[in-house]
A and B are shown apart, each in its own frame.
Chain A
Amino acid sequence: MKSEVSSETRFIVERWTPLSAATSIVAAALLVMLAFGPLLFGANIVDNLTNLFIYVILSVMWNALAGYGGLVSVGQQTFFGLGAYFAIQLSYYGVAVYPALLLGAAVAALVSLPISALMLRLRAGEFAIGMWVVAELAHLLVALDPLINGETGVSLLALNAFSPNTRRDDNYWLALASMAVLLAIVFALLRGRLGASVQAIRDDEDAATSVGVKVMRGKWIIFFLAAFGCALAGTLWLATSITFQPNTYFGVQWAAYMIFMVLVGGLGTFEGPIIGAVIFFLIEFFFGQTGVWYLIGLGAAATLFALFLPRGLWGTIEDKFGLRLLPVGYRLRMLGPQRANTD
């Protein structure tokens, strides 16, 4: 993963800089330190950090889908809800509760396959709204299941077998591990061949086809990944809250949160959505109790960002200072005296 020097050594394609190497070491160290969280922090902080990890997952997934894949979806709550729903079902049919959480996400990801076969034929706004319709449909269908008791909902009772403290720590570790693994997967995918292909699809689908990109395959992989990630976030949410009410899990507010985090952080950057999730988490932490004003504030902030910082916080920093901490792209550097690179 180092910079690669050509055989003629006329140029270097830079994929990794000393700064990005340092960043990844710091990030890894941070993750390791976070792993000791339950031993260091009080219950309240552990709970809050667990929520933060779930937000990061949602944000990064929506960014992979929309920022890199160009698939702007207002319906990712479909998978958030379905993941939780399948986890409850699996647990009900006797699967041990923590495996059920992971399997539930996997089943929801499988359900994304037939959904993607239909939805990925739609483009742009049609896809965005179509996904919302899918979310509402999933909501209605799940509420029909007698196991769920309609909108009253149901609790994942098997979790009560664990003491609240054990559960809190386990949830924390599960959320942290999920976040770390998903971040690593997204990073690897975006740095690999698929990353450039899906960005080409995002920017111009027909032009991507004409240079040989298999458009459906690229969209499908990113859709599947985002479905799994959002579903996993849903099952983690279920693990922390225990109760499942269709209204809460399939609510469009999840889509709004994801969009907020990604827009504020920086659509189509790897670092941005993580920053956006932290900001969202802080806003919620300090203003979450103010009810309607909190939502109005979120909406206003997202609007202001879209108008004045369309590339988000990190996108703006990246443009201004050329700073790339965890680069997924390619920089060409020509070697030799007269080949100074302008940009």
Chain B
Amino acid sequence: MQDTAASSVDSGLLVGAGVYKSFGALSVLEGVNFTLAANEAVGIVGPNGAGKTTLLNVLAGAYRPTTGTVYFEGSDVTTLDAAERCRIGIARSHQIPRPFGGMTVFENCFVAATTGGNLSGQRAYQCTVDSLEQCQMLHIANRRAETLGLLDRKRLELARALATGPRVLLLDEIGGGLTDEEANHLVETIQIMRSRGLAIVWIEHIVHVLMRVVERLVCMDAGRIIADGKPEAVIADAAVIDAYVGGKAAP
């Protein structure tokens, strides 16, 4: 295990090696080894409480792992907080959208471009406009974010993450709560980002949406990765079916 962790550090863009995370007596992650290669899109599925969002939080720097290490581009970033990780190129969206409600859509992304993206002046404006355009939000750029509906809030999560100029995008159920048509719009946007070389980790319950973007699927259950590979293979995996249908933790 030590060997595989060490070798994946070199090959991976973003790596969580031997990650354990517990909150008091509650152990949420129990030894997760996760590797995201450059330009790769990985989906994470698993039943509720499997630890998917916690893993994302550990990768994004919102949580410090209890034990384990996070590497980005080969260097140890475990002690960097979420703001610092954003500045080096790890951006995320939130499961429940968290817009800056008192600011306009434009200003939401502009903050991201100037802080996470460390841009200023015209380059910050251009970056903001580009990310709004990619997420089809230009026409509502001057709306206060608190007036947005769910789809636009989800888009704003994406646009804001994009404006930070990331190398890796961590998406937490960005399609959740949307109609199929709305989700399809988002998928198209994400496919465009993907084609521009952005690496993506995407947690989603709507598997058929996920399958259109990711080339590898990881299934988690009870704080562990129980399957990892080609999406079709993971979906057919007995342990995965058991985790979902059986409702019990895989052995």
Residues of chain A touching chain B, judged by Cβ–Cβ distance below 8 Å, are 4, 6-7, 10-11, 13, 193, 196-197, 199-200, 202-204, 206-215, 268, 329-332, 334, 339, 341-343
Contact = CB atoms under 8 A, between A and B. Distances in A.
Given A211-B111, A339-B138, A330 B104 contact: yes
Contacts of B82: 206, 209-210
Contacts of B206: none
A330 B106 contact: yes
A126 B162 CA distance: 34
Contacts of A193: 114-115, 120
Contact of B125 (A6, A199, A329): A6
B240 interface: no
B204 interface: no
A210 B115 CA distance: 10
The 5 closest A-B pairs by CB, nearest first: A212-B116, A207-B98, A203-B100, A212-B86, A212-B115
A207 B94 contact: yes
A197 B115 contact: yes
Nearest to B141: A332
Contacts of B114: 193, 196-197
Nearest to B105: A332
A210 B62 contact: yes
A11 B129 contact: yes
Nearest to A198: B111
Contact of A213 (B115, B138, B145): B115
B129 A332 contact: yes
A140 B52 CA distance: 51
A215 to B, nearest CB: 7
A140 B183 CA distance: 60
Interface string B36-53: 000000000000000000
B86 A210 contact: yes
Interface residues of B, number: 46
B133 to A, nearest CB: 9
Given A207-B94, A209-B83, A341 B111 contact: no
B125 A4 contact: yes
Contacts of A197: 111, 114-115
Contacts of A11: 125, 129
A199 B164 CA distance: 17
Contacts of A6: 122, 125-126, 129
Contacts of A329: 103-104, 107
B167 interface: no
A7 B99 CA distance: 29
A200 B100 contact: yes
A292 to B, nearest CB: 36
Contacts of A7: 122, 126
Interface centre among B102, B116, B117, B126, by most chain A C-beta atoms within 10 angstroms, is B102
B140 interface: yes
Given A10-B129, A330-B106, A204 B111 contact: no
Contacts of A203: 99-103, 145
A202 B163 CA distance: 20
A4 B128 CA distance: 14
Interface centre among B101, B115, B140, by most chain A C-beta atoms within 10 angstroms, is B115
Given A4-B122, A332-B142, A334-B138, A196 B99 contact: no
Contact of B99 (A204, A206, A210, A212): A204
Contacts of B87: 212
A313 B142 CA distance: 21
Given A196-B110, A206-B62, A212-B116, A343 B143 contact: yes
A204 B100 contact: yes
A210 B83 CA distance: 5
A341 B83 contact: no
B140 A343 contact: yes
B83 A199 contact: no
Contacts of B220: none
A145 to B, nearest CB: 41
Contacts of A211: 86, 91, 111-112, 115-116, 160-161, 163-164
10 contacts: A4-B122, A11-B129, A199-B103, A200-B111, A203-B102, A212-B87, A331-B106, A331-B142, A342-B139, A343-B143
B92 interface: yes
B60 interface: yes
B141 to A, nearest CB: 4
A212 B122 contact: no
B32 to A, nearest CB: 21
Contacts of B116: 211-213
